[in-house]
């Protein structure tokens, strides 16, 4: 397979597909709509899982597992929920050669089956809050597949919590949004915007949905995680009640929140370039790749001996590293190969370096000679660790600069069309669902761009302005843009 990818400027979608396959993250499946996550892509997912799972546990959550199959009648119990999910359900009608008495839904999300179990487990206020997360796969029937971004089956985590009061559940919803933002910013180096979804974009069955929105390299938005305040909708549908401290029977208040393998797509598109992936050190399967270089046979042993020292040093420092001592591939080929795979830091080690007691470091985030430096072998552990920290910070700074450079305030409708043709627009919006539909339709008709309201950012400028759509008074600004 050629190591060259379609340039981003030529065909962004083609670039994305090339990266996913050439970096060996995922492959197409024989089953339409599904994907095969390859070992390198799965290791990246495992690191994402670890970063999130640690944060979930630090905030008091525990993991459990609920069944893949959900009785069809469960899905119908919450009216908005069934309406939202009906078009994309996969249904099992037969099992063991017999027609089932009640068809089973392959879970698209688990509010219903978990709600059913919570009704059984929750008796009194002493059982609350109940803070459970599950790591699982879900199925939402999709025919237009984009690996990691939109597939019929994907992996995710779904948190489901139950609380005694409205306020506690709302606090939990925002706490988990904060956890997602912290993960995205610190680990994935993606400067997400925290916000609330408009009514037309919220989760089917939620009172309020919150999101973290990220800007991709083509200036489209990617919804990268969501947290929903479900009020008492599911509690009433599944009869989840508890006896409060005054011995009164009350419905609980619930939340749900999820991040999926879409996060891999976010990382690819927030950081990748025409040489391939660029992975943040906090999540990269290999933080460092070591490429030993020799030409003559007598140099080989000297170099490989020095590589053993490098290996011991990196292992002691707890760095995730890989040594590429394969014969039959040139160093240049290896450089390209690991650049494609986005390894943050490369260590080159040749006979001259051994003589001089040094190694050469090459940063993935700073291409060419500018990103190369020689460091003494003696200080390698510290130098490598410092450089990984610098790379992580620089990636976040670059992505933040890119997002800010491509986000502008739209003062009128003409500006909204111009700005959203190549970035995000911030504009005053009245909050009306019909006004939102009207704005979308007008931009599509007049500029040919399918935009949506990505979110109403939690951080607002304050004051008020005239709604971009209907000229009515507005107290909040929204982000408008194209999205995946």
CB nearer to Zn ion: give 289 or 430.
430
Residue 472 Cβ, how far from Zn ion at the closest point, in Å?
Answer: 5
Residues, the chain:
484
Q: Is 162 in contact with 118 (CB distance < 8 Å)?
A: yes
Buried b (16+ CB within 10 A) or exposed e, 305-320: ebbeebeebbeeeebb
CA–CA gap between residue 55 and residue 133 (Å, rounded):
12
Residue 444 Cβ, how far from Zn ion at the closest point, in Å?
Answer: 17
Residue 475 Cβ, how far from Zn ion at the closest point, in Å?
Answer: 12
CB nearer to Zn ion: give 202 or 403.
202
User: Does residue 222 bind Zn ion (CB under 5 A)?
Assistant: no
User: Does residue 198 bind Zn ion (CB under 5 A)?
Assistant: no
Q: Is 160 in contact with 205 (CB distance < 8 Å)?
A: no
User: Does residue 119 bind Zn ion (CB under 5 A)?
Assistant: no
Residue 468 Cβ, how far from Zn ion at the closest point, in Å?
Answer: 7
Of 269-277, 333-341, 365-373, 424-432, the window that binds Zn ion (rule: CB under 5 A) is 424-432
CA–CA gap between residue 477 and residue 430 (Å, rounded):
8
Residue 464 Cβ, how far from Zn ion at the closest point, in Å?
Answer: 13
Where do the DSSP E strands lie in 277-415?
288-292, 321-323, 345-349, 358-363, 372-376, 407-409
CA–CA gap between residue 395 and residue 190 (Å, rounded):
8
Residues 380-399 that bind Zn ion (CB under 5 A): none
Residue 424 Cβ, how far from Zn ion at the closest point, in Å?
Answer: 19
User: Does residue 470 bind Zn ion (CB under 5 A)?
Assistant: yes
CA distances (Å), origin 19, targets 331, 336, 382, 402: 21, 13, 32, 21
CA–CA gap between residue 242 and residue 167 (Å, rounded):
16
Residue 470 Cβ, how far from Zn ion at the closest point, in Å?
Answer: 3
Q: Show the binding pattern over residues 440-469: x = contacts Zn ion (CB under 5 A), - = does not.
A: ---------------------------x-x
Q: Is 208 in contact with 191 (CB distance < 8 Å)?
A: no
Q: Is 287 in contact with 388 (CB distance < 8 Å)?
A: yes
Residues 73-112 that bind Zn ion (CB under 5 A): none
CB nearer to Zn ion: give 221 or 467.
467
User: Does residue 435 bind Zn ion (CB under 5 A)?
Assistant: yes
Residue 27 Cβ, how far from Zn ion at the closest point, in Å?
Answer: 45
**By three-state DSSP, how is residue 444 classified?**
helix
**430, 443, 451, 478: which one contacts Zn ion (CB under 5 A)?**
430
CB nearer to Zn ion: give 284 or 430.
430
| Strand 288-292 to 345-349 pairing | parallel
Residue 63 Cβ, how far from Zn ion at the closest point, in Å?
Answer: 43
Of 103-111, 219-227, 239-247, 435-443, the window that binds Zn ion (rule: CB under 5 A) is 435-443
CA–CA gap between residue 353 and residue 293 (Å, rounded):
10
**Considering CB under 5 A, how many residues would be counted as binding Zn ion?**
5
Q: Chain centroid to CA 61: how far?
A: 20
CB nearer to Zn ion: give 114 or 467.
467
CB nearer to Zn ion: give 126 or 472.
472
CA–CA gap between residue 417 and residue 422 (Å, rounded):
9
DSSP 33: T
Binding interface with Zn ion (CB under 5 A)? 430, 435, 467, 469-470
């Amino acid at each position: 397979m050629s190591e060259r990818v379609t340039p981003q400027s030529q065909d962004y979608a083609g670039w994305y597909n090339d990266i996913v396959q050439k970096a060996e993250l995922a492959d197409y499946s024989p089953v339409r709509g599904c994907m095969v996550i390859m070992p390198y892509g799965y290791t990246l997912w495992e690191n994402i899982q670890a970063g999130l799972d640690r944060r979930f546990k630090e905030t008091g959550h525990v993991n459990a597992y609920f069944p893949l199959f959900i009785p069809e009648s469960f899905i119908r119990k919450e009216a908005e929920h069934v309406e939202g999910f009906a078009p994309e359900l996969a249904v099992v009608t037969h099992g063991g050669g017999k027609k089932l008495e009640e068809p089973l839904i392959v879970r698209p999300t688990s509010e219903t089956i978990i709600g059913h179990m919570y009704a059984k487990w929750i008796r009194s206020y002493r059982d609350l809050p109940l803070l459970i997360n599950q790591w699982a796969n879900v199925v939402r029937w999709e025919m237009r597949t984009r690996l990691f971004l939109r597939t019929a089956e994907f992996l995710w985590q779904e948190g489901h919590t139950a609380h005694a009061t409205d306020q506690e559940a709302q606090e939990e919803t925002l706490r988990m949004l904060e956890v997602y933002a912290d993960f995205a910013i610190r680990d994935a180096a993606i400067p997400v915007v925290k916000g609330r979804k408009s009514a037309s974009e919220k989760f089917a069955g939620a009172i309020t949905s919150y999101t973290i929105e990220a800007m991709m390299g083509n200036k489209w938005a990617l919804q990268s995680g969501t947290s929903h305040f479900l009020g008492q909708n599911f509690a009433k549908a599944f009869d989840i009640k508890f006896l409060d401290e005054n011995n009164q029977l009350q419905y609980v208040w619930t939340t749900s929140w999820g991040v999926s393998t879409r996060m891999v797509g976010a990382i690819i598109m927030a950081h990748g370039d025409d040489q391939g992936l660029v992975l943040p050190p906090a999540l990269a399967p290999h933080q460092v790749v070591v490429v030993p270089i020799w030409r003559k046979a007598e140099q080989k042993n000297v170099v490989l001996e020095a590589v053993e020292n490098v290996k011991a040093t990196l292992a002691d420092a707890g760095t995730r590293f890989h040594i590429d001592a394969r014969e039959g591939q040139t160093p240049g080929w290896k450089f390209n190969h690991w650049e494609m795979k986005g390894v943050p830091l490369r260590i080159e080690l040749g006979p001259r370096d051994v003589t001089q007691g040094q190694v050469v470091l090459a940063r993935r985030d700073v291409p060419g000679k500018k990103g190369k430096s020689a460091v003494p072998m003696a200080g390698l552990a510290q130098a490598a660790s410092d450089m990984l920290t610098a790379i992580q910070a620089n990636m976040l700074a670059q992505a933040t600069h890119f997002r800010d450079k491509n986000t502008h305030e739209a003062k009128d409708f003409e500006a909204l069309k111009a700005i959203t043709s190549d970035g995000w627009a911030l504009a005053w919006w009245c909050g009306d669902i019909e006004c939102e539909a009207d704005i979308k339709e007008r931009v599509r008709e007049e500029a040919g761009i399918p935009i949506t309201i990505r979110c109403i950012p939690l951080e607002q400028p304050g004051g008020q302005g005239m709604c971009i759509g209907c000229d009515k008074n507005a107290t909040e600004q929204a982000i408008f843009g194209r999205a995946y």
